Structure 1
Amino acid sequence: MAFRGVHTSSLPAVYSDSMGATYSKTFKPSRDSSSGVSWRVLTLLLLGVGATVYTLRSSSSSEAARVARQAAYDKLYPGSTRYGARGSMEEPGTAHAPVRKWSQRGVRRVLESEGAVQAEAAAATVRPPASGFDPERHQQYLDLPPLPAFPPSEYMGGWALTQDVYDCAARHPAATVLSFDSPRLVLFKSFLSPGEVDHLVDISKDHMARSEVLHADGDGSVSDIRTSYGHWPTPTPTTHNITDRIHRLVGIPEKFGEDLYVLRYLLGQQYEAHNDHCMDNLSRSRKADPACRDFLKRARGPECGPGHGGETCGDRMATFILVLKHPSKGGHTVFPEATITQASVKNHGHAADDSWYCKDSGVLGAAPEAGDALLFWDYRPGGGSGQGSYEDGTADPSATPVYEALHSGCPVLEGEKWIVTRWIRGAGFDYVPPNTA
């Protein structure tokens, strides 16, 4: 289920741990004028040892890039581990495969405009790994430390969305940050193993039913807005391992997550632009409509704060998408209201065509391969007092909705698309406290 439908805060630009290798071709190492060696001499030296340089380039440049990425991380997080108090990993991730055309241009523009092009982050060009499953990268997710135990009060609205939690997944060495903010969008290659991909398809393929959308009166029905088929699979040991891994990566209690929802898109099927939170469904008096109120009640809303729906008043806080199969053409996920998008397509006159965002190369988006995952945030840290209720229009959530997280699953043009969605709330989803069941 989802609802249809400018803020600024970001991971500092110096954090280029996963972007340096991907976009190192755009970086130019600075010349050291104090060395006393002219460029002509350097050119002769390079010509004289060309064969040796070519042979050693791959290993030396990978090590140099690794050191540069670690230095960038250390500048941003001095004295800290990669996961704060949650644990650490020794080695950063390998170079990432470049994102598709529709996000690459916008991401490079943001990195350059925010001053992220640093000479030290481009010690050399690093070739990205070949596409497909990477067992070493997958192991990095399996090695994530467990989350601490949470008391019932945390599930009942007492948990806080801090900046550290917001940045947790983006700090992972296997993460590729496609957009730092508005929305925060992160890609994780090889998050699922091939066996997990097959398992999720096998337990769902014979049970798919037409997906529905909710209307303001609270009723659900099929709609041309959303033409996919979906299924809520019964949990298995494999799905439990996957959801546990998701929450260890994101840093949010597992009980905040809705059940996994498997989706299949056939030729021509799509999901038009929408937000996963329901803040687009407020009246002028900031009261939630019946559908939004019932939606928020699943996580102790529509009241806000401790003892109720927490920092989002029961709303969806983050969306995690697992890719099981990607079509050979079309089917990409795009963000038409993203800051990167608006900088790219401004004044292009797209308003007359509702599907323009699936056709324009300036739109932020991604088309991950099977086994990959995407995370985007529907809220960011910081906001109001964390009091009030959407029942009477007094709600003042302490986290801020990200309206730029508006996204669309574009039409499949060739093949079919399978994904799994894990929506994550700001408090326990359908949580029943101990001794009250």
Structure 2
Amino acid sequence: MAPLLFLLLAALALSPTFDAAAGGFYDQARVTQLSWRPRAFLYSGFLSHAECDHLVKLAKGRLQKSMVADNDSGKSVMSQVRTSSGTFLNKHEDEIISGIEKRVAAWTFLPEENAESIQVLHYEVGQKYDAHFDYFHDKNNQKLGGHRVATVLMYLTDVKKGGETVFPNAEGRHLQHKDETWSECARSGLAVKPRKGDALLFFSLHINATTDPSSLHGSCPVIEGEKWSATKWIHVRSFDNPPIVRMDVRCSDDNELCSKWAAVGECYRNPKYMIGTKDTLGFCRKSCGICDA
């Protein structure tokens, strides 16, 4: 994705947008820019309370222990880093989910096919998700859609105390005023209180498509009440229709600059050249991690 496009996405996230499925123009006054490092925006009332209740109802009875991606293998493993429970809802599972998915795509200006299914999460008292990145450290997860470029986190319930989303590395984190209603965890960075219907959009990559360390974020422990949320992760390229690459040939780089190009995000901005298509092999498949060396 080109740097100028990233700038455009950040600007458009604050702009009123017409989407018939979402009920007309978005109200720019309900979108607040929270930070530029990382790029983060809060939409007040993104979901109706009825939509929130519907997602919670669908998820109940389907919850399982939340997993994390192993940094080396990319496999999903259990960890005390993340103690919530959750479940994925199928894309277009019903009309309400389809409408939310269209609304997310319209607000972020990123295609629906680049996004994973909605994941609904449930946090009980004491449960949390320690600070982590939404982009990947392993090559295996990057093969399907590339890095996660953006996250839309929708709050489905109010939380009496705790449960804030916190960005420990955010620029200006010390400037945010916090009174006694904030948890101690939330005081460690720029924080957002979970409010039913609100949605938080933040980007995990810089505008040049490299990973952004300031996007480090976590879910603070719930102190009182319970927390329900719904996450939509969006990748730099299609998650539903990844490129089909021939794997029956030796993996190699055909240009000595491949590793440098890959490091600055060319695998995602220029996949046809770097990775290839189902008919033509790319020139930097090794550096892009698309096949085994």
TM-score by length of 1: 0.49
2:262 aligned residue = none
Residue number among 337, 346, 371 corresponding to 2:169 in the alignment: 337
What CA distance in whole angstroms lies between the structure 2 residues aligned with 1:357 and 1:251? 35
Secondary structure at the counterpart of residue 99 of structure 2: helix
Deviations 1:41-96 (A, max 9, x none): xxxxxxxxxxxxxxxxxxxxxxxxxxxxxxxxxxxxxxxxxxxxxxxxxxxxxxxx
The amino acid of 1:231's aligned partner reads T
Q: 1:409 aligns with which of 204, 207, 219?
A: 219
Measured after TM superposition, the shift of residue 317 of structure 1 is 0.3
| Equivalent in 166, 170, 174 of residue 14 of structure 2 | 170
1:341 positional shift:
2.1
Deviation string 1:319-378 (CA, Å, 9 cap, x unpaired) is 10111013201000000011112678xxxxxxxxxxx97152x62111131111000111
Gaps of 5+ in 1: 1-156, 282-291, 300-313, 345-355, 383-398
Partner of 2:55: 200
Tell me, yes or no, if the aligned pair for 2:73 and 2:140 is still in contact at 8 Å.
Answer: no
Provide closer, same or farther for how the CA distance between residues 261 and 251 of structure 1 changes in structure 2, counting only shifts above 3 A. same
User: What does 1:136-215 correspond to in 2, within 5 Å?
Assistant: 161-172=5-16, 173=28, 174-179=30-35, 181-215=36-70
Question: What is the rounded CA distance, in whole Å, between the counterparts of 1:357 and 1:297 in structure 2?
Answer: 38
Q: Percent identity between the aligned chains?
A: 36
Q: What amino acid is the match of 2:127?
A: Q
2: CA distance, partners of 1:190 / 1:296:
32
The match for 1:363 among 189, 202, 216 is: 189
SS at match of 1:203: helix
Which amino acid is 2:140 matched to?
D
**Alignment-mate amino acid for residue 419 of structure 1:** S
Show the 5 A alignment for 1:6-405. 161-172=5-16, 173=28, 174-179=30-35, 181-215=36-70, 216-234=72-90, 235-278=93-136, 281=137, 292-299=138-145, 314-341=146-173, 358=185, 360=187, 363-382=189-208, 399-405=209-215
Q: 1:295 to 1:413 in 2, by over 3 A?
A: same
User: What amino acid does structure 1 have at the position aligned with 2:196?
Assistant: A
Cα distance between partner residues in 2 of 1:318 and 1:261? 14
Q: CA deviation digits over 1:262-309, x for unaligned, max 9?
A: 00000100000001012xx3xxxxxxxxxx21110111xxxxxxxxxx
Deviation of 1:432 (Å): 5.2
Q: State how many pairs are aligned.
A: 225
Q: What is the distance in 2 between the residues matched to 1:207 and 1:371?
A: 22
1:201, 1:265 → 2: CA distance? 12
The change in CA–CA distance for 1:162 and 1:223 in structure 2 (over 3 A counts) is: closer
What amino acid is the match of 1:274? H
Q: Whose radius of gyration is greater, 1 or 2? A: 1
Contact 1:334-1:357 within 8 A present in 2 as well: no
The answer to whether the 8 A contact 2:121-2:230 is kept is yes
Letter in 1 for 2:77: S
Look up the equivalent residue of 2:122 and give its one-letter code.
R
Distance 1:166 1:414, change over 3 A: same
Superposition RMSD on alpha carbons, in Å? Answer: 2.4
